[in-house]
A = this chain, B = another copy of it.
Amino acid sequence: MNTATPDHHLVPQATARTVPQALFDELRARFGTQFSVAPAVLEQHGRDESAFTVAPPDAVVFAESTLDVADAVKLAALYRTPVIPFGVGSSLEGHVLAVQGGISLDVSRMSRVLQIHAEDLTVTVQPGVTRKQLNEAVKSEGLFFPIDPGADASLGGMCATRASGTNAVRYGTMRENVLALEVVTASGEVIRTGSRAKKSSAGYDLTRLMVGSEGTLGVITEITLKLYPLPEAVMAASCSFASLSDAVNTTMQIIQMGVPIARCELLDGNTVGMVNRHSKLTLPETPLLLMEFHGSPDGVKEQVQTVQAIAAEHSGNQFEWALTPEERTRLWTARHNAYFAGQQSKPGCRVISTDTCVPISRLADALLDCVDEANAAGIPYFLVGHVGDGNFHMGYLINPDQPQERVMAEELNTKLVQRALALGGTCSGEHGVGLHKMDFLLSEAGAGAVDMMRAIKRALDPHSILNPGKIFSR
């Protein structure tokens, strides 16, 4: 790697720990064919969707049960060796990279939906279940799980990063939708956080502490989630605008009016073009809002009327309706593929994704200058946003062989984060800190709060074996 790239894009090899042969032997004896050191397997477990260089683990254990996870962690603890939980590898922030070496603990085979309590609107799953798999499993009960980060991520990974996505504006994030967890601690003990009760004041909120802890405080082995009745009526539409600020101001007003919109997604014209080419659509290549409304037939009509009036005030065009479920799926698949559409627009590129989230009234202030800055820098990018939440992503498309592009993208990212923090926002709406936002976290939370996080990390993982090197820069 070229030394001109920022430090945090290099795997900090200096801190990699040596895995003793005895641990390999014990893991092989315990796990047999569930244990692998095959180079292709290591390579696959050392990368994600981020722009970081691959950092393969020393070995991979394919856990098939909570007991497997507990035993693997106990052995790793014995030898003070890092353990990195792995779901499907869809992180955008380097979460699964084995930056200090160690064991990748792949939970993708823990993919059973354990209990559907339709009458309570709850479900308990293993961490390797993906969101699409979960929705297939509960559909026949007339229920769905709304959190939709785009990728068909594992629910364990979604817990670990406190994921959200397109439906969060109405249904909240993983923070609001996880009721309880089973977790293997750093010593290999199995604990439960929370119950199936909808609310509780019984002690510290360990569930919320684990959600978003990025595998650094425990390995999630079971998840109890809220479900929702499938809405009686669903309508989805796109609306194009003459300018980004019109689209953003429309969004701000929708939220301020309290419209319970289910999805409110922004793409700039440039990104609509990428999506058209990738998904063979013919959307107008101007700033675009993609919206979805859930409710009773009358309730949905009411929402649509309100939003149409707001859009019209901001020179929004007529709504284009996705009338059938198939058309809706096509629309949202196209939106979800914006990331890949962006990547495809510059062959061989990697994406450096930003993730700021600001109070809704500051969205225009946060977003419009970033676009101008990217255009001025001449770097290609895509722009998508869960704008109803004040959250948007610039995806800078960099050539990994051109270190200067990475530097430029990170400079733009830094400006963008500084602006969001000054506006009362956060550096990460939903992707997590990982390897990428450690310094941003420090700027955002302050040294005192980060010290408190570190104190918790030390208390729960004294030998720092759980996904070390993430969240904290030192």
Interfacial residues, chain A to chain B (CB-CB below 8 A):
117, 119-122, 161-164, 168, 172-173, 175-176, 185, 189-193, 195-206, 208-209, 211-213, 217, 228-229, 252, 255-258, 296, 298-299, 302, 355, 357-362, 389-391, 421, 424-433, 437, 440-441, 444-446, 448-450, 452-453, 455-456, 458-460, 471
A119 to B424 Cα, complex, angstroms: 13
Whether B195 pairs with A424 at a CB distance below 8 angstroms is yes
CB distance from A433 to the nearest CB of B (A): 6
Q: Which residue of B lies closest to A174 (CB)?
A: B201
CB distance from A360 to the nearest CB of B (A): 6
CB distance from A407 to the nearest CB of B (A): 23
Q: Which residues of chain B have C-beta atoms less than 8 A from A228's C-beta?
A: 258
Besides A168-B199, A197-B359, A299-B302, 4 new A-B residue pairs in contact (Cβ under 8 A), listed by A number = A195-B444, A197-B358, A201-B433, A209-B456
Whether A197 pairs with B357 at a CB distance below 8 angstroms is yes
Q: Which residue of B lies closest to A187 (CB)?
A: B448
Given the contacts A192-B446, A203-B441, A456 and B459 also touching, CB distance less than 8 Å: yes
CB distance from A75 to the nearest CB of B (A): 19
Whether B119 pairs with A197 at a CB distance below 8 angstroms is no
A440 to B200 Cα, complex, angstroms: 13
Chain copies in complex = 2
Given the contacts A211-B205, A431-B201, A191 and B452 also touching, CB distance less than 8 Å: yes
A173 to B208 Cα, complex, angstroms: 14
A460 to B426 Cα, complex, angstroms: 24
Q: Which residues of chain B have C-beta atoms less than 8 A from A355's C-beta?
A: 201
Whether A199 pairs with B391 at a CB distance below 8 angstroms is yes
Whether B359 pairs with A430 at a CB distance below 8 angstroms is no
Given the contacts A296-B302, A424-B195, A460-B455, A203 and B168 also touching, CB distance less than 8 Å: no
CB distance from A383 to the nearest CB of B (A): 18
Whether B256 pairs with A121 at a CB distance below 8 angstroms is yes
CB distance from A119 to the nearest CB of B (A): 4
Whether B201 pairs with A162 at a CB distance below 8 angstroms is yes
The residue among A193, A211, A302, A445 with the most chain B CB atoms within 10 A of its own CB is A445
Closest 6 pairs between A and B when the two form their complex, measured CB to CB? A208-B208, A459-B459, A119-B361, A191-B448, A200-B426, A229-B258
Given the contacts A256-B119, A302-B296, A361-B119, A452 and B185 also touching, CB distance less than 8 Å: yes
Q: Which residues of chain B have C-beta atoms less than 8 A from A211's C-beta?
A: 205
Q: Which residues of chain B have C-beta atoms less than 8 A from A120's C-beta?
A: 359-362
A448 to B459 Cα, complex, angstroms: 14
Q: Which residues of chain B have C-beta atoms less than 8 A from A362's C-beta?
A: 120
Whether A199 pairs with B173 at a CB distance below 8 angstroms is yes
Whether A202 pairs with B117 at a CB distance below 8 angstroms is no
Whether B203 pairs with A471 at a CB distance below 8 angstroms is yes
Whether B448 pairs with A202 at a CB distance below 8 angstroms is no
Whether B424 pairs with A203 at a CB distance below 8 angstroms is no
Q: Which residues of chain B have C-beta atoms less than 8 A from A440's C-beta?
A: 202
A57 to B471 Cα, complex, angstroms: 41
A459 to B333 Cα, complex, angstroms: 46
Whether B206 pairs with A453 at a CB distance below 8 angstroms is yes
Q: Which residues of chain B have C-beta atoms less than 8 A from A192's C-beta?
A: 445-446, 449
Whether A199 pairs with B164 at a CB distance below 8 angstroms is yes
